[in-house]
A and B are shown apart, each in its own frame.
Chain A
């Protein structure tokens, strides 16, 4: 009925591209989705007049109020309604106004959308459902306009979780999500809605899901992140380079099912890993990445930094800690760049020392483990 998300298009061969911001890229994707499939619907709170972030501007005028419409203020209703629409073979694009308000819909997402196909033995599915929600901190959002709830959804088999880092990515990934035959939660970095501007091809293109991207190659350490965090990490990479530290930066893009192979390959090369996300540390998705990578290439990692940042913007003055606490305050995302840099510098300062230590550990493990073959590949 519709192409799979793997059917991607080469952005390099673009016919024409314009410099636009992230919300306009989302808007373009929605226009294309509605235009290319008459069974596509866009709905949510205040969607009809263009949405509070203007992502749905012009859609109702162009495609009519029966396909682009406001709903009552009820998130479980929005997602439940979307599941019903999708179950009838439609592409239902539901907007949750802020990711902070997605929780009333948690039951519909976890118990219904995610299990719809599995529990019916593939008789029914709601794969046409895409839930869009702006997430993350912007600087003045307080508790209820700043959260990054992605980890809750990453614990749910049956849905996909996707977060774009830029306008170009947002358009291609959103179109993939809409056309993917599985329900998807698509978190949009609202900090970047107007801030991030990029050349975005005007035509219909899709970017692959469950495929991470190495944005910047390096040899000393691997940095993994997603969404708005990427711009911070990129800045850190640039700063680190001045200090002679070569960073490899990976955008995960799809959080579940995630691309372990790309991260693993990078960590095998660099031997170090840093994960950074806006969400709380405990039970964060960074923990999943670190656990998986440790499991896969324990003996290759000379320096493992499972490091996650929590940002909550609700009060000044500025304070920042590297341990989880409810007392985290910060007013500017960019403060993270020097922090990451510090971590990198202090880590690499002791590189020599640690290399020797690691050698010792490896020798020790070799002695302890009878099965040398098992680890031979890991050392080389």
Chain B
């Protein structure tokens, strides 16, 4: 709860003290009231940061340049100034100077705001769109060796690439399985392999994932097996979710991956709560919540970001901006410059990253994680990418978007190919390894599907269990009724469900 208080005159300071004694605006204020500067008031983005000290003078030019403000800056660079305050106020001439300052700024709850006589509306957008951070060029070569690139070892890089390929093959095979009618539904992550795997690779295992639904790669990275994926999609009794949800709604306690729910934004405020718990436990871990571009229009996006900012909770909000929310184009979703600019509105540090550049995603998420945990604050990451596949198996995206747009992203901007170029250029990967990997994964997946298909469905009792920790009498009654009905009409019930 970083609320900035500045004081420019004794009167105002006393007024604030009085207010605080009445319980006005909370106690956090007291701790921070020693800061005094006009800097905060001219830089709204700094309002949420109690670590920002007025040493960075790059934005001083935006201040109204007068003796009073400069004086104020010189005198109050640190908390030491608190002790000097009383003697400072005792001088009449100083009082005068402060009065000048007071006339030029508004001491408002939340921080001082300077006055201006010019009527300026803030522009709806900046002239230039926020640039997109990338490390690899289109050919998979590192653009600038001196960039803030996080080093990736051979072992990690090879695992990243292997998992990206595995994700691709898993998507293809499960998609086909759905087309053959063997599973009811599927969603691919095609085009977003780098986001899935690289973001997961940059996190620690103890970081808690709150997925949306197009991030199975995070689970894959953490060691969820192909058999476990298959069990969920087939809804058999080995599924951790007991066959209750539609395919792709994975969840794994073991892998700190909260079970997916279909609503698209509900995980965001929950992430703030989870992160707050990590904060209370002094854990060196953060919560990571994924969301799509469409999800950012939900009220939960606002709730999640605002809560995390105010509670100073270590969360990474990772937005996969893939251009389309089913058939809704981003231009019909929002009029801002994407998602990254929304962070500032909440006082959240944000970055835009090329989601099809695995190294850029890795670097950005590594840095985001470090800031989130070390500084106990939320970070917003917007990854620009493209949903190459249809929204789901129930969708045909050629009805609303051009084929050549899909092809461009599939071929020219393919994240897996780009990363492969880089891995290969390091001498870490060969054509032979590629062939062997693809063959092996394919085989494992077909085997997993066969096993999953043969495994029986969860028994009838699982229809009622886990609604509460114990089965209440009303559900006991309903279960009994159902069993009686089934025993009267056994032919009307599926034979593969044990009663």
Contacts and interface: CB of A to CB of B under 8 A. Distances in A.
A127 B466 CA distance: 11
B269 A123 contact: no
Count chain B CB atoms within 10 A of each CB in A84, A90, A112, A258 and give the residue with the most.
A84
B262 to A, nearest CB: 8
A79 to B, nearest CB: 8
Interface string B249-290: 101110000110101001011111111111010000001000
B472 A80 contact: no
A88 B278 contact: yes
A2 to B, nearest CB: 11
B239 interface: yes
Interface string B284-312: 00010000000000011011101100110
B28 interface: yes
Contact of A124 (B249, B258, B266, B303): B258
Interface in A101-138: 104, 107-108, 111-112, 115-125, 127
Contact of B469 (A48, A79, A108, A127): A127
A117 B469 contact: yes
Given A76-B303, A182-B468, A260-B473, A124 B259 contact: yes
Interface in A226-279: 256-258, 260-261
A120 B303 contact: no
Contacts of B245: 119
A66 interface: yes
Contacts of A71: 307, 310
Given A85-B274, A112-B261, A118 B467 contact: yes
A108 B269 contact: yes
Contact of A72 (B23, B275, B306): B306
Contact of A48 (B26, B244, B300, B467): B26
A98 B307 CA distance: 20
B299 A76 contact: yes
B303 A119 contact: no
Contacts of B1: 69
A85 B469 contact: no
A111 B467 contact: no
Count chain A CB atoms within 10 A of each CB in B23, B252, B259, B302 and give the residue with the most.
B259
A72 B310 contact: yes
Interface residues of A, number: 52
B253 A123 contact: yes
Contacts of B251: 119-121, 123-124
Contacts of A258: 474
B242 interface: yes
B273 A81 contact: yes
A107 B295 CA distance: 14
Contacts of A116: 259
A350 to B, nearest CB: 34
A127 B302 CA distance: 25
A80 B28 contact: no
B467 A157 contact: yes
B306 A123 contact: no
Nearest to B309: A72
B468 A85 contact: no
A290 B307 CA distance: 43
B158 interface: no
Contact of B466 (A76, A77, A121): A121
Contacts of B472: 210, 257
B27 interface: yes
A123 B240 contact: yes
Contact of A87 (B273, B302, B465, B466): B273
B64 interface: no
Given A74-B303, A112-B263, A81 B258 contact: no
A65 interface: yes
Contact of B272 (A69, A70, A80, A120): A80
A111 B242 CA distance: 18
B266 A107 contact: yes
B28 A65 contact: yes
A215 B263 CA distance: 43
Contact of B269 (A65, A76, A86, A182): A76
Count chain A CB atoms within 10 A of each CB in B242, B249, B266, B468 and give the residue with the most.
B468
B307 A72 contact: yes
Interface string A204-232: 00000010000000000000000000000
A78 to B, nearest CB: 8
Interface in B15-33: 23, 26-28
A84 B278 contact: no
Contacts of B271: 84
B27 to A, nearest CB: 6
Contact of A77 (B27, B253, B278, B306): B306
B269 A117 contact: no
A108 B273 CA distance: 13
A191 interface: no
A149 interface: no
Contacts of A49: 23
A83 interface: yes
Contacts of B110: none
A74 B270 contact: no
Nearest to B315: A84
A179 to B, nearest CB: 12
Contacts of B270: 80-81, 83-84, 87, 112
Contacts of A70: 26
Count chain B CB atoms within 10 A of each CB in A80, A107, A210 and give the residue with the most.
A80
B467 A112 contact: no
Contact of A112 (B266, B299, B304, B473): B266
Given A77-B303, A80-B273, A119 B241 contact: yes
Given A77-B306, A85-B276, A121-B239, A111 B249 contact: no
Contacts of B446: none
Interface string B460-491: 00000111110011110000000000000000
Contacts of B278: 88
B244 A118 contact: yes
A123 B469 contact: no
Contacts of A108: 266, 269, 300
A81 B259 contact: no
B113 to A, nearest CB: 21
Nearest to A159: B468
B26 A88 contact: no
A121 B272 contact: no
A172 interface: no
A286 interface: no
A82 interface: yes
Contacts of A90: 277, 280
Contact of A84 (B23, B259, B273, B299): B273
A92 interface: yes
Nearest to B476: A257
A122 B461 CA distance: 14
A44 interface: no
B274 A115 contact: no
A158 B269 contact: no
5 contacts: A74-B306, A80-B270, A90-B280, A92-B273, A261-B473
Please give me the 5 A-B residue pairs with the lowest Cβ-Cβ distance, nearest first. Answer: A84-B273, A80-B269, A77-B303, A257-B472, A88-B277
Given A74-B303, A87-B274, A181-B469, 11 more contacts: A65-B27, A77-B306, A85-B276, A87-B273, A88-B278, A90-B277, A115-B261, A117-B469, A120-B241, A121-B242, A123-B253
